[in-house]
Chain A
Amino acid sequence: EPEVTQTPSHQVTQMGQEVILRCVPISNHLYFYWYRQILGQKVEFLVSFYNNEISEKSEIFDDQFSVERPDGSNFTLKIRSTKLEDSAMYFCASSARTIRADEQFFGPGTRLTVL
């Protein structure tokens, strides 16, 4: 069964460093998303992406964040200068969006630890 994959599973970085989280969405999906979950808290929407453009972003997704689809298979989230409060599990999701608000398939997540 097709699935969303994410690498790395765990990333440790120093405050102020740049990180890139990688995702490979399901191959025929065209809609991509990033969410984050701070430990023990709810899942929060960051951004949605379609046709090489951001469709929607939350207030969390400030100038420190960017997304890119560098090739036909990868979808990345970059944090330019990490802060301690960026420590969280980051989930990538993709959707075929054959219907409005179609099911989003989530990857296993990347745990980001900022020291």
Chain B
Amino acid sequence: AQKVTQAQTEISVVEKEDVTLDCVYETRDTTYYLFWYKQPPSGELVFLIRRNSFDEQNEISGRYSWNFQKSTSSFNFTITASQVVDSAVYFCALSEARSSGDKLTFGTGTRLAVRP
């Protein structure tokens, strides 16, 4: 069965520090999709990135970057030069190709606190 593990429950950093959020997944599918969502204090879920299992290229979007490594079943998320507005809970999620309904399986989330 599919599973997503985010071992870091809470991380606290000082503004401008770099921070990496870890995500490890389990799946028996060879085709799958990985996601990161941000949940700010207001509570909504904001999409950050989607990556399919055949694309192992790292991606950078502004201060955000993602490192996908199939060999270790990890999809880690790095925020460079963190800002207070980055404070949120970040969820990693997995969708398997066998899922007829594009079900997202979420990890337990990492709460990031960025202090000024």
Give chain A's interface residues, CB within 8 Å of chain B.
31, 33, 35, 41-45, 47-50, 54-58, 89, 91, 93, 95, 97, 100-109
**Mind listing 9 A-B residue pairs with CB under 8 Å?**
A33-B101, A42-B91, A42-B108, A48-B100, A103-B50, A106-B37, A107-B44, A108-B42, A109-B43
- Does chain A have a CB within 8 A of B88? no
Partner of A56, one of B37, B46, B103, B108: B103
What residues of B have a CB within 8 angstroms of the CB of A57 in the complex? 101
Partner of B33, one of A33, A45, A100: A100
B44, A101: Cβ atoms closer than 8 Å? no
What residues of A have a CB within 8 angstroms of the CB of B42 in the complex? 108
B47, A41: Cβ atoms closer than 8 Å? no
Closest 7 CB pairs of A and B: A56-B101, A48-B101, A55-B101, A101-B33, A106-B45, A101-B95, A43-B106
A43, B33: Cβ atoms closer than 8 Å? no
What residues of B have a CB within 8 angstroms of the CB of A31 in the complex? 102
- Does chain A have a CB within 8 A of B99? yes
What residues of A have a CB within 8 angstroms of the CB of B101 in the complex? 33, 47-50, 54-57
